Structure 1
Amino acid sequence: MRPKISVCWLRRDLRLNDHAALYHALKSGIPVLVVFIFDKNILEKLNAKTDARVSFIYQVLDKLNKELVDLGSSLFIKFATPKNAWLEILKDFEVKAVYTNHDYEPYAQQRDEAIAELLGQHGISFHTYKDQVIFEKDELTKADGKPYSVFTPYYKQWLKKLNSFYVKAYPTQTYFGHLYQTMPFAFPELQDFGFMPNEAIFPAINYQEKIDHYDELRDYPAKDATTHLGLHLRFGTVSIREVVAIALEKNVEKWLSELVWREFYMMILWHFPHTVTQAFKPDYDKIQWRNNEKEFKSWCEGETGYPLVDAGMRQLNKTGFMHNRVRMVVASFLCKHLLIDWRWGEAYFADKLLDYEQASNVGGWQWACGSGNDAAPYFRVFNPELQLKKFDPKMEYVFKWAPQYQLAIAPMPIVDHNFARERALKVYKTALNEKAS
């Protein structure tokens, strides 16, 4: 006889505490089985079988499983497409309801619609909740009901609407007794999924140690003064409500505004999913990109002859992380100096970044290109040398990640800044002055 259960389906919310879907599942009174699906639709698109993000997820799931075993339950893991995984689950259990949290990426929305339909065919209810943001979808709109497309008014409205209700934690631990009680399920090895462990060192959740000096030090890459919280927010190993509550308690508005940028881009992606592959400002899709593959390779490998750009790319390739200020510089360099399509850079970051978040990555790249929301005017072109002098004057960051610049003969720039700037302005101006036929 199949056990009667409800399911909490984990995706990008890998924790047991302060978890919206888990809380509602536990409150239902039906024993809750916690499930994670290694989605073959996603994993089979990854270029490296040692992808560090897969190792991070695996390590977190191992920790979660141990927590569940201590509570008399166990984590149930599947490796399949979501549809096939659910068909297998429905064979093993009599599922009464499924609880999960919202995901705003286009693929995730299509996946959830398909699974909701599948479950509905079996008479199983599918409940989803807001969990990874404070405000979502249409919760913050302009007076006419349309979504914001400029950050500052969105941020002001975000702050205005915020109150203690929105950062209140879900007390899941109160109801842990409602977890499905079982002997531990077999915990798979990464190799079972065709992946190998990655020896990457993942950042700890220690943001409280850094936010006190965040505003004054955040732009200096050698200081390592940013929180490295992006990875944990991406996979939900920390609650956004906890993080925002701390930001308010410590009154660190600049750091809070960075968290709101993340929500702003998620709202944009939800309202304008076409921006994953198309410019938010349509005229920018008329730009005649050079897309020189040799120069793109030089950019990818950190061999452009511009110290800050090269250090950033080498840090990314080595660690899966790049300092926020440097991300802006390298993105601007690719789009403006080399006139390479922002989508090439976005895809490269998607492949390399530990904290890759589609909404923020697409938003950030379109910002750098000039084609996105609230972007700087196209004629503002970052000067990599001035950025270096301002934010890494002693070249500490550069020498750490691109030590070739300590040599007497430094690499030659692949393009002259002034020439590249004038070329970019001309190409952009030509594209943006074109009239639709």
Structure 2
Amino acid sequence: MSHYLSLMVTSKKDSRPAIVWFRRDLRLTDQAALGAAVASGAPVLPVFVLDDGKAGAWKAGGAARWWLHHSLTQLHAVLRHHGTGLVLRRGDSAEVILALAKEVDACAIHTGILPEPWERAADDAVAKHLKGTDCAFHRHPTVLLHDPDTITTQAGKPFGVFTPFANAFLRGVPIGTPVPAPKRIKGADLPASEDISDWALRPTITWDAQFADAWVPGEAGAAATLDRFLDEAVNGYDVGRNAVSKAGSSSLSPFLHWGEISPTQVWAATLHTDHPHTAGPVAYRRELIWREFAAHVLWHHPTVPEEPLRPEFKAFRWRRDPRALKAWQRGQTGVPIVDAGMRQLWSIGWMHNRVRMITASYLVKHLLVPWEDGQAWFWETLVDADLGNNSVNWQWVAGCGADAAPFFRIFNPVLQGTKFDPDGDYVRRWVPELTKLDTRFIHEPWAAPNTALAAAGIILGKTYPKPMIDLAEGRARALAALRDTGGKRADQLV
């Protein structure tokens, strides 16, 4: 081929756009799919597809859709600043991406690797269709630190227990250096885009009124949240993460879920603190590894959102109790730490992780309501609702999943509240009916003498609910149900 002809071919190829298919990686920094497209020299065409069909019951819930609206709005603005914009389309994601590639005569499609079953199915459909064509399909690591197919047990199987997984992860996963955002993006001519306002992602009933006070979705909000965590909380994270009334957690979970910050960025940031290998940063990095573990489990067990990993729990005698479920959802169980958590969730789309465990344990053990019902409510109301984390953590609490806590380990919400909210500040913030109650009784108002209740303006059963069930009775009932599960004894289910 002559030099002149080579230049002509290169020029023609470079004029064809490279599509960057954004999904849960809504950022420019350390975004491998975007970086590869920019490095190719082709004009870049960023696109996001809203596909509610393939996800079925697991399409983004109400709180997550609020977040997505604002995150996409921010991403479009940042892309505009860098020389391009964001094309929005709706429909079957594989079909939409393939149609768009044909529409613009794309030379390549770059996207991230996601663990959700429907995302993997879409990838397979796109790859199959493009095989043998002159449009390449490239998948990049954008949301996880590890490739779920590369970490296995010595027997070559996926991990089902966290500690061995964490050890293998620390031994075998090289974590690179975060890549800066491109200074400028050579943008392609943008085809027609839908208007995000037509997607109606924000709720029509303004139950999200407090969300904007609590969160700033987008890459800039993620960076600011990480900076606050590094400045104020990471060094004491190992202890502070359990103090439910304090700002001891990172609050990065929704930003990580939507990919407004990469796990590589967060991991690297904890290594650049003054004391990166002390208990706080080490404990936080272990939480990042748990996130990888949840994705690992989902990758290898795609039915984990619907089915218990431990088959004996298919016979467990759950109680379908709409009344109990509704009281739990509304924070009206009569157990203060549980009600505080559920009201925090409804108010800001997020709940402290320690309280997530307490509220979940109360639902599935004291009330014997199926874990799937709790999982579905969290999916609808959490801004950080993540299929891997949500399903694996609910099964962990219910004792039926990977590395699960045995079912007979039942949290006592009074003891948990006393230990992790000793002054009752968390309860008083989210359950104002109890504001004036003496701290001695803040986590068990039913134990307060009538004089203490009267002084606080509380009438149990009227101004604040009586407990739905006696805690000792609920525990005994849960253990009885466990003994009846498939004829298994408690010690056989550990």
Q: TM-score, normalised by structure 1?
A: 0.91
- Greater displacement, 193-202 / 334-343: 193-202
**CA drift at 1:266:** 0.4
Q: Is residue 63–residue 380 contact of structure 2 (8 Å, CA) maintained in 1? A: no
Of the three residues 316, 322, 340, the one matched with 1:287 is 316
How far the C-alpha of 1:434 sits from its partner, in A, is 5.1
The question of whether the paired residues in 2 share the 8 Å contact of 1:23 and 1:171 is answered with no
Gaps of 5+ in 2: 1-11, 436-456, 490-494
Q: 1:291-302 counterparts in 2 under 5 A?
A: 291-302=320-331
Give the Cα–Cα distance (whole angstroms) in 1 for the partners of residues 272 and 133 of structure 2. Answer: 46
Q: Indicate the structure (1 or 2) with the bigger Cα radius of gyration.
A: 2
After TM superposition, give the deviation of residue 352 of structure 1 in Å.
Answer: 0.5
**8 Å CA contact retained: 1:299, 1:313:** yes
* Counterpart selection for 1:180 from 184, 187, 201: 187
**Is 205-214 or 275-284 further displaced after alignment?**
205-214
Aligned to 2:249: 226
2:487 pairs with 1:433: yes
Aligned length: 429
Q: Which residue matches 2:443?
A: none
Matches within 5 A, 1:146-225: 146-163=157-174, 166-173=175-182, 176-177=184-185, 179-182=186-189, 189-196=195-202, 199=209, 200-201=211-212, 202-203=215-216, 204-205=221-222, 206=225, 207-209=229-231, 210-225=233-248
Structure 2 match to 1:20: 32
In the TM superposition, residue 358 of structure 1 has moved relative to its aligned partner by 0.6
Task: Provide closer, same or farther for how the CA distance between residues 48 and 108 of structure 1 changes in structure 2, counting only shifts above 3 A.
Answer: closer
Asked if the contact 2:68–2:201 (Cα under 8 Å) also holds between the matched residues in 1, the reply is: no
Residue 273 of structure 1 aligns to a residue in which SS? coil
> Paired residue for 1:62?
73
How far did 1:104 drift?
A: 0.4
The alignment partner of 2:484 has SS state of helix
Cα distance in 2 for partners of 1:55, 1:397 equals: 25
Could you tell which deviates more after superposition, 125-134 or 197-206?
197-206
Whether the aligned pair in 1 keeps the contact of 2:88 and 2:196 (CA below 8 Å) is no
Residue matched to 2:48? 36
Asked if structure 2 preserves the Cα contact closer than 8 Å seen for 1:26 and 1:172, the reply is no
CA distance in 2, matches of 1:87, 1:375: 41
1:242 is aligned to 2:265:
yes
Deviations 1:320-375, CA, capped at 9 Å, x for gaps: 10110000001111110011110111011001100001100101100110011111
Contact 1:7 1:32 in 2 (8 A): yes
Change (3 A) 1:46 1:402: farther
Mapping 1:25-424, distance limit 5 Å: 25-41=37-53, 51-120=62-131, 123-163=134-174, 166-173=175-182, 176-177=184-185, 179-182=186-189, 189-196=195-202, 199=209, 200-201=211-212, 202-203=215-216, 204-205=221-222, 206=225, 207-209=229-231, 210-250=233-273, 251=276, 252-406=281-435, 407-410=457-460, 411-424=465-478
Q: How far apart are residue 137 of structure 1 and its match?
A: 1.0
Q: Which amino acid aligns with 1:317?
A: W
RMSD: 2.5
How far residue 11 of structure 1 moved from its aligned partner, in angstroms, is 0.2
Question: 3-state DSSP class of the match of 1:212?
Answer: helix
SS at match of 1:7: strand
Q: Which stretch shows the higher mean deviation, 197-206 or 348-357?
A: 197-206
Report the Cα distance in structure 1 between the residues aligned to 2:429 and 2:324, rounded to whole angstroms.
Answer: 23
- For residue 38 of structure 1, report the CA deviation from its aligned partner: 2.0
Deviation at 1:91, TM superposition (A): 4.7
Answer whether contact 1:320 1:353 (CA < 8 A) is retained: yes
Change (3 A) 1:172 1:240: same
Unaligned runs of 5+ in 1: none
Deviation of 1:404 (Å) = 2.0
Provide the identity percentage: 34
Contact 2:49/2:91, CA 8 A, preserved across alignment: yes
Distance 1:278 1:14, change over 3 A: same
2:318 is aligned with what amino acid? W
Higher mean displacement: 302-311 or 200-209: 200-209
